[in-house]
Structure 1
């Protein structure tokens, strides 16, 4: 099956150098990371629901 977003990158996350960022920049960065974590958690939930549905469908009778 083709992935609509293309192949996965080898390095999924390259943290930026944040040594010189201001407090507001750091807070904005944290907010972006939290949004990305929430997106990943939603995707996990979708996949777990799909697996649970498949497990019920293909469960042996009895």
Structure 2
């Protein structure tokens, strides 16, 4: 172990859809569920924003 190990950025937790879950603890599963819920919220917010932009464009070109 090097003296500089603590200076390295922590590895970001990611989840790959369909990955093996058998080696994960309950805490790891809770963390991944929270990350996926945050990602779903981010995706839904972007969907709403894009839908609003699409509706504005449709209304502009209908006139």
For normalisation by structure 2, the TM-score amounts to 0.67
CA distance in 2, matches of 1:33, 1:59: 38
Unmatched tracts of structure 2, length 5 or more: 1-14
Q: SS state of the match for residue 51, structure 1?
A: helix
CA distance in 1, matches of 2:21, 2:28: 9
Among residues 36, 39, 48, which one is paired with 1:36 in the alignment? 39
Deviation at 1:14, TM superposition (A): 3.2
For normalisation by structure 1, the TM-score amounts to 0.68
Q: How many residues align structurally?
A: 48
Among residues 48, 52, 62, which one is paired with 1:49 in the alignment? 52
User: Which of structures 1 and 2 has the larger relative contact order (alpha carbons within 8 angstroms, sep 6+)?
Assistant: 2
User: Which stretches of structure 1, 4 residues or longer, exceed 2 Å deviation after superposition?
Assistant: 13-17
